[in-house]
Structure 1
């Protein structure tokens, strides 16, 4: 949206027209503040919001944390895990702050891009859609890879039935579970399945911690390094594993839109609750898993243990986890595709006035959902290894939505020279609003600078990860 400081570049008629638009935006924003309680209101509780966000964070990536720590050493590994959590948490915090600039219930990457970089909105949503689509496919591939192992572990006599060991059969079977869940409109509707998925994570944690306490892996344990790392290249190659383990930003706006109390204190506590819980799980699994096997670690800690009923149940728990995490990827992917279909280029001097966008019709919702489900199914049935593709998708899409977009959105939208400040809905009292429109305070300046720093950090992560994928991982 053009700044009032650019009036000299346009005609007097444009100035008068623009002033009228600015005034209407200010009045409209105040009206939305007064009507917010009577209009859109969320129904999700604080607990369900934390559970859904935490389930989006915690995935099969938790099983790779011990291997990542083996490359960093214990001290540096813990610091990297905590730092990555803090950076991701800050991105979530900025998203919650940005949501105050649009009408209640309409916060999304698309609506914010209309206020900041409207003609780039289609690029942003395309990155989100590709990332979520790739992760959803990877979940189906994990199901196809693990279920034959689960069958062998529970009853080896079932091996005589070829279809019981067929990955295509199990992908098809579990599609019958994820299809109805993927057609739920509200993210809050997935709170119960998210809770079941977190129970599965709890069981996996018990396996890792339990084996460490029993000490049945110590006989074949490799070296343990408290401070020494494996080297810069090896450490950097596992750095993306830790960074992307906190990716949940694609669902943050849905959380903000659906939560009953969307106050600053409430949304901040949701971010802290989910990020701190995830960081605690990652540190616990990383340390106990590393102390159990030392340097003799692969990418999946569960695969390190001797075959037993407990580890077979652990593999089944991973399947349950990814099954109930699949809809959490379809939800934002569907919204991004809808935004891409609605996108239209905007003229340079045409002011963007955000309002409540039309909700997706039932037919459009069903068509997009069906296409996504069928497409992920076809890709998962056709490809058995997406590691290289996902590495590039994660390096670009995950980095963009976790760090770059939250950083540049807040840096742009909170600019004191921009008329976006008239859209701010932090206070209900009009006198407080007018006071908030005065000169930028020191804390606001520091927050804007930190937001820009987060975006720069995202660019660094993207360049680092892409370089490793091209020059290092491709050779190994």
Structure 2
């Protein structure tokens, strides 16, 4: 259970307080609670998160968390389905969605027991300073990878959108406005940075809602295209341009498979896991939720996961049933660049991923603040400088690394299972008092098994990537 608020600046418990959890946590964790969210100050003391008045509505919190869940991984789901078949994909998608909801339950339960709503502070409470550093580093690495994947989509797709709007059929390399490197810098400074300077994550609920609307338009267009396009058999290939379709019917490649296993099926679980990673954003959204309770935040998470589950499933099914075994690793690449509707879809996806970057940046900034300035009050100069430096770093990655797919693979294989499985499980085991739940109790045994599952998943993912490198094969794994 959560600790009582400190009233009028006095560090004392409320009268009549008798439960052992309250007394234990209040005495042992008072200093830790004082370190979180020290923005509000009256000149005499810093306040803890329990003094922070959340103002974000339930609906806006759902938009923010849904936007945090939905990432560039949605573009790789049809490809994943083509390698597993419809039934097996549905089973895996359901399995990952349920595990994601359970891992968020573990996080919220741990946060409620000690009165902490920062991922890094949970690490500190569970394993001391080492746990805090590990949690902050994993969050930073994963979210930098996610931000890079979003900006890579901008770098690749925005020139095609501009070409379509200008009516050009061939790229003119001499035009600066068709250079993806210049475009991501303009988008970063003109759109992402101003949104990233918001002081509270809740204010991004409106942009998150608009971003989700763009992805709903993407989904509707994918469904529509299924019914107006014949099954294509692709010829030729290109690094950036879509393959040339030769439409055919009655072909074996145009037959949907309910269950199949290809060599690329090994990457299906990583793709699905990356697509559901939202854990670094859960606790910040919980902090800013109006009338925050564990049940209320769990409902936010469940609704967000269910909404993304439906979007993911429909996108995968109709994308797969449009191109079948010839679907591209990134779904948009399978469509023609001269199609007016898909040109609008590309623009909508660009807007969606661009508006998602600020939401992903917030947990990184909090991780940096927790590591470097844990007891400092809020300061605009520090707030702005961290956001600018993070965007500068991500832009450098996107511009100078020619193929970051392998880096994403390593990051995803290590950070995704850590954030979804391992950290929530071990935090729960370490933080929940044995007086409340003994080590041999069913909830703690389940948490241990959950963390072990994440470790197995990590070893398997890294092994697949190493095998791919050794054999010299090139297969994309997508990204969150």
Q: Same fold (TM over 0.5)?
A: yes
Equivalent runs, 1:304-343 vs 2, <5 Å: 304-306=334-336, 307-342=338-373
Equivalent runs, 1:459-470 vs 2, <5 Å: 459-470=455-466
* Cα distance in structure 2, aligned partners of 1:463 and 1:256: 31
Are 1:76 and 2:72 counterparts?
no
Aligned equivalent of 1:259, options 273, 289, 292:
289
Post-superposition shift, 1:473? 5.4
Question: Aligned residue for 2:274?
Answer: 244
Post-superposition shift, 1:198? 0.5
Aligned equivalent of 1:137, options 148, 167, 170:
148
Question: Aligned residue for 1:449?
Answer: 445
Question: Is there any run of 5+ residues in structure 1 with no aligned partner, and where?
Answer: 1-21, 344-356, 418-436
Question: Aligned residue for 2:213?
Answer: 199
Q: Relative CO higher for 1 or 2, CA cutoff 8 Å, sep ≥ 6?
A: 1
The C-alpha deviation readout for 1:192-220, integer Å capped at 9, x for no partner, is 11111101101110111111233433654
Asked if the contact 1:102–1:111 (Cα under 8 Å) also holds between the matched residues in 2, the reply is no
Aligned equivalent of 1:281, options 308, 311, 336:
311
Asked if the contact 2:25–2:114 (Cα under 8 Å) also holds between the matched residues in 1, the reply is no
* Cα distance in structure 2, aligned partners of 1:147 and 1:27: 55
Change (3 A) 1:210 1:358: same
* Cα distance in structure 1, aligned partners of 2:74 and 2:196: 24
The C-alpha deviation readout for 1:413-442, integer Å capped at 9, x for no partner, is 11415xxxxxxxxxxxxxxxxxxx5x7599
Are 1:269 and 2:283 counterparts?
no
Q: Which has the higher helix share?
A: 1
Post-superposition shift, 1:152? 1.9
Equivalent runs, 1:65-464 vs 2, <5 Å: 65-103=77-115, 106-118=116-128, 119-157=130-168, 162-175=175-188, 176-217=190-231, 219-220=247-248, 222-231=253-262, 233-306=263-336, 307-342=338-373, 359-417=377-435, 437=436, 445-464=441-460
Post-superposition shift, 1:27? 5.7
Post-superposition shift, 1:340? 2.1
* Cα distance in structure 2, aligned partners of 1:379 and 1:264: 38
* Cα distance in structure 1, aligned partners of 2:137 and 2:438: 34
TM-score relative to the length of structure 2: 0.80
Aligned residues: 414
The C-alpha deviation readout for 1:53-91, integer Å capped at 9, x for no partner, is 101111221121111011111111101111111111211
* Cα distance in structure 2, aligned partners of 1:403 and 1:59: 19
Post-superposition shift, 1:462? 0.8
Post-superposition shift, 1:228? 3.0
* Cα distance in structure 1, aligned partners of 2:119 and 2:430: 13
Asked if the contact 1:72–1:230 (Cα under 8 Å) also holds between the matched residues in 2, the reply is yes
Question: Is there any run of 5+ residues in structure 2 with no aligned partner, and where?
Answer: 1-21, 34-46, 233-246, 474-480
Post-superposition shift, 1:298? 1.1
Post-superposition shift, 1:24? 7.3
Post-superposition shift, 1:227? 3.5
* Cα distance in structure 2, aligned partners of 1:69 and 1:326: 27
Query: Mean Cα displacement is larger for which, 370-379 or 274-283?
Result: 370-379
Change (3 A) 1:342 1:169: closer
* Cα distance in structure 1, aligned partners of 2:126 and 2:284: 20
Post-superposition shift, 1:135? 1.6
Change (3 A) 1:38 1:82: closer
Change (3 A) 1:328 1:453: same
* Cα distance in structure 1, aligned partners of 2:149 and 2:317: 26
The C-alpha deviation readout for 1:100-144, integer Å capped at 9, x for no partner, is 1233xx411221112211133212211111111122122222211
Are 1:47 and 2:59 counterparts?
yes
Post-superposition shift, 1:223? 4.3
Change (3 A) 1:466 1:441: closer
The C-alpha deviation readout for 1:221-272, integer Å capped at 9, x for no partner, is 72435443124x4211232111110011110001111111222321121111
* Cα distance in structure 2, aligned partners of 1:399 and 1:29: 28
SS state at 2:51 partner: coil
Asked if the contact 1:65–1:285 (Cα under 8 Å) also holds between the matched residues in 2, the reply is yes
Post-superposition shift, 1:448? 1.8
* Cα distance in structure 2, aligned partners of 1:256 and 1:446: 26
Post-superposition shift, 1:37? 11
Post-superposition shift, 1:358? 5.0
Post-superposition shift, 1:156? 2.8
Asked if the contact 1:60–1:318 (Cα under 8 Å) also holds between the matched residues in 2, the reply is no
Change (3 A) 1:441 1:332: closer
